[in-house]
A and B are shown apart, each in its own frame.
Chain A
C-alpha cells in the first residue's frame, strides 16, 4: 500500500490564515487526496484511525 495512503493529508499551503478575521477563507486550491480544513481532517483521522500529515507550504 502506498505509504501516503496511510495518512490523512492536510495542506496549509501558500499562506497561513490566522484567527485575525471573521472571514472563513480556504488557503489552498483543492488537490485530490488533500484536505484544507484541519477540523475536518482531524475528524477523518479519528474515524479512519490514520495519523495526520499536515503540510505548511510557505510561498514567498
Chain B
C-alpha cells in the first residue's frame, strides 16, 4: 500500500502491533497497541481492546449524528451540560487548582487532534534513496534517525518516544486499558491526586480510550512541558479488586451511567520523565553513536572461568576501532565491561548501550568499570558528538 501519510498515522515504529480507529476521512478516534521490553503482547488484552472498540463505536455514532445535522469537524464545543460528569456536577473541590479549566467545559473531544504538520509529509530523502518497495516499521524510525543526523538536527530527545504511564507513577489496569490499577507512592501521579480505579479520559486536548492513547498524548507534548492537565472519571463506588478483569455483570453495568465525576488533575512532569529502556528497540541500532567497538555478553562458563559474578554485567570487548567511545575511553580488546556508571546488574549489550544513552549525552563524562586481566579499572571520557557514517538501513 503506497502513500500512507505517517504524520497522520504516527505510532511507535518499534512496536509489533498497532491499530488505529478512524472515520472514513481518517480522523482518529483512538490508537490501540504498543509494547515494551517485555512480552510483545503484555500491554494488549481482549477485554481492553473490546472496551476501546465500544468507546469508538459510541463516539462514531455521535459523529454520524452531528454530520447528519449538518455539522462539520472540528465540531463546535458542546455546552457544559454536565455530560462529562455523567449527570453529576463536576466536583470542583477535587480539581487541582491550576488545571486548564477550559478542558472541563464541554464534552470529551470525539477525535484526536490532527497533527499540525500533517500536510507536510516528512522529507526522508535517505529512505527514498536507500530503500525501494517494502519497509519494516522499525526501519522507518531508523531512517528518521539518519535523516535527522544528516540534516544536522538530531537530538537526544528523538530517542525517547511514546513514554509509559509508569514513568509518572501510574500502573495501568491491562484488562481495561486506561484505568489506573495502582499509583506508586512518591510519584508525580500521587502528587497530582490520582487514585486507583480512576479512568483517564483526556490528557490535554487528547481524548483517551486506550493505554496507547495515554502514551500518544504524552508523546506529543512539547519537550519543554512541565505539567499537563489530565481529566479522570472517578466513580463513587470503587472496585476492591482493581487488577482483575471486570466480570460480565460489571461490564454490563459499566455501560450504564455509574455515579461518577470528572476530575481535573495537574500532573507534573519531572526532568527526563520520558526516558525508558531502549535495548529492545530494533531502531536503536541506527542511533548515530560511534561506539567504536564490537562486544558480546560472556557465557556462564566464561564468567566462571574469569571469576565474575553470575548476577552482574559481563560484556567482553571483541574488537575496537581507533575512534568513537572506545578510543575516548581507551577500551582494549578482551576488556570485560562490568559496570556502567556503577550499575552492575546483568545486562545484554543492547541494554548496556541503552544504559549509556540514558545516563549520558554528548559532552558528559562517561564512567565505565572494566576488568582487564586481573585488574579492575575505572575508565572515564567525554561522550562524543553524535556521529554515523551510515546513510541507509539494512
Contacts and interface: CB of A to CB of B under 8 A. Distances in A.
Interface of A: 3, 6-7, 12, 14-21, 23-27, 36-38, 42-43, 45-46, 49-60
Nearest to A54: B20
A53 B6 CA distance: 16
B1 A37 contact: yes
B16 A18 contact: no
Interface in B52-71: 53-54, 56-57, 60, 64
Contacts of B236: none
B15 A25 contact: no
A18 B56 contact: no
Nearest to B134: A15
Contact of B20 (A16, A45, A52, A57): A52
A3 B50 contact: yes
Contact of A21 (B16, B18, B53, B133): B133
Contacts of A14: 134
B19 A16 contact: no
A51 B60 contact: yes
B19 A53 contact: yes
Contacts of A58: 13, 15-18, 136-138
A55 B17 CA distance: 7
B26 interface: yes
Interface in B331-388: none
A45 B20 CA distance: 14
Contacts of B20: 52-54, 56
24 contacts: A12-B1, A15-B134, A16-B134, A17-B1, A17-B4, A17-B133, A18-B2, A24-B2, A25-B2, A27-B1, A37-B1, A45-B23, A50-B60, A52-B21, A52-B23, A54-B20, A54-B21, A57-B16, A58-B13, A58-B18, A58-B136, A59-B136, A60-B16, A60-B136
B26 A42 contact: yes
B176 interface: no
A43 B117 CA distance: 25
B4 A57 contact: no
Given A18-B4, A23-B133, A56-B17, 8 more contacts: A16-B135, A16-B140, A20-B128, A25-B2, A54-B19, A54-B21, A56-B19, A60-B282
A16 B15 CA distance: 13
A3 to B, nearest CB: 5
Given A16-B137, A17-B1, A55 B18 contact: yes
Contact of B4 (A6, A12, A45): A12
A38 B29 CA distance: 17
Contacts of A54: 9, 19-22
B3 interface: yes
